[in-house]
Structure 1
């Protein structure tokens, strides 16, 4: 199993556990995310957030909104200090999550793309 596959498995398992602390353990304090789900989930007009606490607050709301959230990994690819996970997401959507790592192998930037928005 490659490092990218191991990370992908752990990341999917953390989300499926709905344990916010476990989910957040993959991210840096200065994490920056960009996702169209911000607007869909919270109704706010931003499509990006920065900072671990802001992201945790958003994901806490998302987990509450989707109590049956369950991700299923389809594939994982890797690049230079990065991975892209292709997975079955919420509301029947498929997602590609591109994550960039710092030197400690924590995610400091993430961009998410979805089908059928």
Structure 2
């Protein structure tokens, strides 16, 4: 993965989130995606903090979008590795967030959300 791909992906990813179009967001992910975030416990009550598969991710993010009508992401920085990228962004509350995404065949197969202190 190169930085050019990572930057394009991050901009498209943020635009998908900012559109609030769940299927557009999910188009970036494999069917067998695994995603972990502390928000999973808060939103769907799963103590593992993890969802497995696109259907589970869809259910989690649908609830999240319902809870956050003013959701908006602003990309601040993007970094690339071999098969992984990191998107550093600010959410609608000004909170710093990092999304770490590992790819397979051009789609995200594993993701982690990590949150900084509340703004």
CA distance in 2, matches of 1:31, 1:9: 20
With the length of structure 1 as denominator, give the TM-score of the two structures.
Answer: 0.93
Counterpart in the other structure of 1:9: 11
Q: Equivalences for 1:51-62 in 2 at 5 Å?
A: 51-62=53-64
- Name structure 1 gaps, 5 residues minimum: none
1:22 to 14, 21, 24: 24
Q: Equivalences for 1:1-117 in 2 at 5 Å?
A: 2-102=4-104, 104-116=105-117
- Name structure 2 gaps, 5 residues minimum: none
With the length of structure 2 as denominator, give the TM-score of the two structures.
Answer: 0.92
Displacement of 1:44 in angstroms is 3.4
Q: Would you identify which runs of 4 or more consecutive aligned residues in structure 1 move more than 4 Å?
A: none
CA distance in 2, matches of 1:43, 1:68: 22
